[in-house]
Amino acid sequence: MREEQHWDAGQEFVFIPKGKGVLLMPVPELDELAGIAKGARKIDYRDRKDRY
């Protein structure tokens, strides 16, 4: 599984509850997050309270 997902030994992960299971996600490095919100709207965005 680790090789298939290209996960490294010693990499940190976060467990996110999803229904009756969990989602396992690697914690990204800071440089991997650069530019992730490029083009995002600064106003009139949906918030969690806007969801059904």
pLDDT for the residue numbered 29: 86
Domain annotation covers residue 22: yes
Among residues 39, 16, 19, 17, which one has the least CA distance to residue 27? Answer: 16
Domain annotation covers residue 48: no
Q: What is the pTM of this model?
A: 0.53
pLDDT for the residue numbered 15: 95
pLDDT for the residue numbered 22: 95
Q: How many domains does the chain have?
A: 1
Domain annotation covers residue 14: yes
pLDDT for the residue numbered 45: 73
Domain annotation covers residue 45: no
* Residue 23: domain span: 1-28
Q: Could you read off the pLDDT of 3-42 as tens digits, one per residue?
A: 999 898 999 999 999 999 999 999 988 888 888 888 887 7
CB distance 12 to 26 below 8 Å: yes
Domain annotation covers residue 20: yes
* Cα gap 39→52, rounded to integer Å: 25
Domain annotation covers residue 40: no
Domain annotation covers residue 13: yes
